Amino acid sequence: MLQVLSSLWSYFAGLEGLVAILFVLGIALVIIELVMPGFGLAGTLGIISLVAGVVLVYPLVSPPVLALIIATILLIIVGMLVYMYKSAVKGGRISKLLLLNTRTGKEEGFSSTNDNKDLIGLEGRAETVLRPAGTGEFNGKKYDVVTDGEFIEKGSRIKIIDVEGFRIVVKKLD
């Protein structure tokens, strides 16, 4: 066992070992950046490590072998990107982690605004001049209201004809 560790140490102590460590570290850091996106530090260090490994291996290998190493690194990175894309699209592992799949609609009991549809048909009076927005009073409560573009004087009788979220539309009664 000691002899195996000694031979591994002597291998990794040389330039070849450093290149191997840089390649493995670079690929690991790029994978970490793809799986857990952050500020880009791991990805940047991974790419720097891969480039340093290529620069250090350049004098040790022939040009065809160097081209093969570079192509392999690029294929690994492209493969990881394709995997991440497939994982991120709807139904993938990453989309399940990052995207909210539950609905928050009225059917589930959630509402971002009060449903004032029950106000439709109420009659009241204009508390301010409506040109076209202003304030109207209905059953002793004041509401911000708008008209369909017409001018309505203060004190005129008005009727609620539509409610769209926070927008209460009124018309003048004759």
Judge if 74 and 145 occupy the same domain: no
* Measured CA distances, 34 to 49, 118, 144 (Å): 16, 51, 50
Q: How confident is the model at residue 56 (pLDDT cuts 50, 70, 90)?
A: confident
State residue 162's pLDDT score.
Answer: 93
Judge if 17 and 59 occupy the same domain: yes
Ramachandran bin of 9, using left for φ above 0, alpha for ψ from -120 to 50, beta for the remaining angles: alpha
pTM for this prediction: 0.41
State residue 76's pLDDT score.
Answer: 78
Judge if 91 and 30 occupy the same domain: yes
Contacts of 22 (CB under 8 A, 6+ apart): 49, 50, 52, 53, 56
pLDDT tens per residue, range 8-35: 555 555 667 777 788 888 888 887 877 7
By CB atoms closer than 10 A (0-12, 13-18, 19+), residue 29 is buried
Q: Answer yes or no: are the C-beta atoms of 156 and 126 closer than 8 Å.
A: yes
**Domain assignment of residue 106, yes or no:** no
Q: How many domains does the chain have?
A: 2
**Domain assignment of residue 54, yes or no:** yes
pLDDT tens per residue, range 71-126: 888 887 788 778 777 766 766 666 666 666 677 766 776 666 677 788 999 999 99
**Domain assignment of residue 107, yes or no:** no
- Residue 152, domain extent: 117-172
pLDDT tens per residue, range 139-170: 999 999 999 989 999 999 999 999 988 899 99
Judge if 126 and 83 occupy the same domain: no
State residue 74's pLDDT score.
Answer: 83
Measure the CA–CA gap between 115 and 121, rounded to whole angstroms.
Answer: 15
3-state SS of 28-48 is: HHHHHHHHCCCCCHHHHHHHH
Judge if 141 and 87 occupy the same domain: no
